[in-house]
Amino acid sequence: MPAVTDVRLSRPARVWILVLALLLLGGGATAYTLRAASGRQTGAAGASVAGFTLDAGRPGALHVRDTATGRVARLDPSAPGGRVAGGPACDRFHAAGPTALCLVRRPGVPARSYALVLDRRLREVRRVALPGIPSRARVSASGQMLAWTMFATGDSYARSSFSTRTSILDLRTGYLVKNIEQIPLTLGGRRYHAPDVNYWGVSFAADDNRFYATVSTGGRTHLVEGDMKNWSARALRENVECPSLSPDGTRIAFKKRVSEGPREPWRLYVYDLRSGREHPVAEGRGIDDQALWTDPETLAYGYGGAVWSVPADGTGAPRQLARGATSPAVPR
Amino acid sequence: MYLATTGRRGAPPAPSRGRRRVPGTVLALGAVSLVTDISSEMVTAVLPLYLVVGLGLSPLQFGLLDGVSTGATALVRILGGATADRGGRHKQVAGLGYALSACSRLGLLLAGGSAGGIAAALAADRLGKGVRTAPRDALITLHSPPEELGRAFGTHRAMDTTGALLGPLAAFALLYATAEAYEAVFAVSFCVGVFGVLLWVLLVPGRRRPEGPGPSKAPDPRPVEAAPRARGGVFAVLRSPAYRRILLCAALLGAATVGDAFLYLLLQRRLELDATWFPFLPLGAAGVYLLLAVPAGRLADRVGRRRPLLYGHGALLLAYGLLLAPVPEALLLGGVLVLIGTFYAATDGVLMALTGPFLAEGRQAGGLALVQTAQAVARLGAAVAFGAVWTASGPETALVVALVALAAALCCAARVLPAAGPSPTSLRED
């Protein structure tokens, strides 16, 4: 056994101290764990409550993920609490046209995530199992094209960095691209190869073929325009993340990194595809979300555990739409 | 006889050329590392989940939180080594490092959702790790007979890796049991870390007594009076030509080591492996490392530490080759993982065991820190260069370049690395 030197304690004394410490620390750890565990309900599992469908509310009603229950909720001023949280349990949600997309994560070793494709009555029509943590979900306006981004850990060559996996699912053909990072990419006019390309935050155009997304490589982010039929992508512009194409297809709302530090590095901007100009919206806080166009002039996004909205043209002020909520969606 | 040549005092007589026990201090150091690695790997495993799911931070913000640059870590490592050497304060300096890392878990708990707080806690953890590594390895050197250093380092590294394998399992089991209470993981990690610090305080011997056998049963590798006293700064170790050669080789071989994560990435591409299983690739290699660390150390003691170090890099060379060769998938997967594990087993502790005997009394921690830092910085450079070649001309070309570079580095190292242990006079470099 180990030998003594400067700590002048006999061996039995040291053994007793260690046993005592083991009991105390073990007891403390157990007590903390039990206390932490008792305060939580196991995540709301399963499907939506009967009668809760995308058509049940008034047309254009805002849907969110209700933080308290983990379920999809419809905002309804007449309901108690201002919302009906009867939807499926999701970590990230979006819906458009006849389709809803629900990303859920189930704990375990390794943790698994699922992308659930739901119809308007929120019944499951397809399920894709994927590793990673749900991050972004988007359904095209027609409801035919779906895309989602999972944050993957443990597979990056630089330990502290992240990597993302973005998938695209075409419901018309059932064709699924699990990871779009092999798409031929043109950057700066040249075909680009790199081990560190990561895509996230897809937004589809009305033709269900063109899409916008962010690609990150070499520590920079770029806005890319992708083409499903030709299976190609080209970078358009630097420092654009989580693009969201306006319903008329002329503007892109995105988050722009304005500082390097870890504190709120992003601001919400709108880029005009025709003029090539960008402007910030009237939201001074750090927004980290893929914005949603609730109408042709208004953006909705999550901030600080609530859903907010702001005019897209840079005027006005942010307005809180729902507290205790994330993942805004307006199924039409 | 061993005893006559090493000057070990108060040690039990060795059974004739059979297995002698690993020094108790080395086992104690291994136990501390095991416990501390459980604590730190618990946090590392769940941190991304906590940031993204628990706090709702963007995954993209995650990279920003790692505020400590490699340069800062290198500086802290050398400073830690130099401070520990002054007056033989290995125990105090490394203990400070362990305590800093343990307290960083408390920082994570207290930081709540604040990104700045989390970044500070992570920085404290990284700095603690930087401070403690070299003094700890110096203690292993100080408390093992020089001819058994390989086995001592092998034992320590095997225990260390065991902790690294157990940590994530413990963390995910906790998350599963508590329905994702991340605070519980941090709290348990803190308790485990504190226990590690306590083990350190109670079981690891501190300043060695300059005279007399005293109550210490810690084996004394060299008669204290024979060792030249350290003078000058950390860089005084560079006056020894043999040490300079080891340092050069560590940097050279490091600069041709592209980083195993790249190899896993290439493996995944070749096999089109389901991404779910990706995190298990490093675990496979770690398992091999765990099994081979002690045998590799013993081999190093028997045949000299130079050869295992070269063979280990040879294993890495084979792994590169295997990734380029048209071999069946099962062979590729198994072969690459076994080769990476072998590479670590035959090089990581062995390099320290090779370096230790060349360092003068009172310069071990600084000397080891310098070698570790040279290797780490060279590897970082290699990773950047490999990424650049990959970007410019694709993964296969990059791998071929790495293969050629490693073969060249290996040839140089075979010529440059000092063959035998130090003669008594080589220690008196000034």
The domain that contains B334 carries what CATH number?
Answer: 1.20.1250.20
Clarify whether residues B156 and B238 are in a common domain: no
Say if B2 falls within a structural domain: no
CA distance A135 to chain B (A): 8
Domain containing B328: what range?
233-421
Clarify whether residues B142 and B290 are in a common domain: no
Say if B27 falls within a structural domain: yes
Clarify whether residues B351 and B243 are in a common domain: yes
Strands A266-272 and A278-280, bridge-based pairing: antiparallel
Rounded Cα distance, B203 and B28, in Å = 6
Retrieve residue B410's tokens. 């290996």
Clarify whether residues B242 and B389 are in a common domain: yes
Residue A111: the pLDDT is: 64
Say if B210 falls within a structural domain: no
Residue B213: the pLDDT is: 39
Clarify whether residues B50 and B181 are in a common domain: yes
Of B49, B177, B215, the CB nearest to A4: B215
Number of Cβ atoms within 10 Å of the Cβ of B177: 14
Q: Which residues of chain B have pLDDT under 70?
A: 1-19, 52-70, 207-234, 274-276, 420-430
CATH 2.120.10.30 matches A44-329: yes
A contact residues 129-168, partner B, Cβ 8 Å cutoff? 130-133, 135, 151-162, 164-165
Clarify whether residues B46 and B195 are in a common domain: yes
Residue A328: the pLDDT is: 94
Residue B51: the pLDDT is: 75
The answer to whether A119 and A99 are in contact (CB under 8 A) is yes
Say if B408 falls within a structural domain: yes
A contact residues 192-251, partner B, Cβ 8 Å cutoff? 192-196, 200, 216-218, 241
Q: Which residues of B touch A37 (CB under 8 A)?
A: 177-179, 181, 184
Clarify whether residues B163 and B75 are in a common domain: yes
Backbone angles phi, psi at A201, to 5 degrees: 65, 65
Q: What is the mean pLDDT of each run of 10 residues along chain A (332 residues)?
A: 54 90 93 80 62 84 90 90 89 93 78 88 90 88 94 50 84 93 91 86 95 90 95 94 94 90 83 94 91 95 92 95 92 83
**Domains contained in chain B, number:** 2
Say if B12 falls within a structural domain: no
Clarify whether residues B196 and B82 are in a common domain: yes
Report the complex ipTM: 0.72
Say if B129 falls within a structural domain: yes
CA distance A91 to chain B (A): 9
Clarify whether residues B190 and B278 are in a common domain: no
Say if B14 falls within a structural domain: no
Domain boundary among B184, B204, B224: B204
Q: Which helix (H) or strand (E) holds B389?
A: helix B364-393
Residue A2: the pLDDT is: 42
The answer to whether B249 and A37 are in contact (CB under 8 A) is no
Rounded Cα distance, B246 and B248, in Å = 5
Q: How far is residue B276 from each of residues B64, B121, B202, B268, measured CA to CA in Å?
A: 25, 29, 42, 11
Length of chain B counted residue by residue: 430
Residue A262: the pLDDT is: 67
Say if B221 falls within a structural domain: no
Clarify whether residues B263 and B411 are in a common domain: yes
Q: Which helix (H) or strand (E) holds B85?
A: helix B70-85
Indicate the domain borders of chain A: 8-40, 44-329
Clarify whether residues B270 and B173 are in a common domain: no
Backbone angles phi, psi at B206, to 5 degrees: -95, -135
Clarify whether residues B111 and B62 are in a common domain: yes
Percent residues over pLDDT 70 in chain A: 89
B contact residues 153-212, partner A, Cβ 8 Å cutoff? 169, 172-181, 183-184, 187-188, 191-192, 194-195, 198-199, 201-209
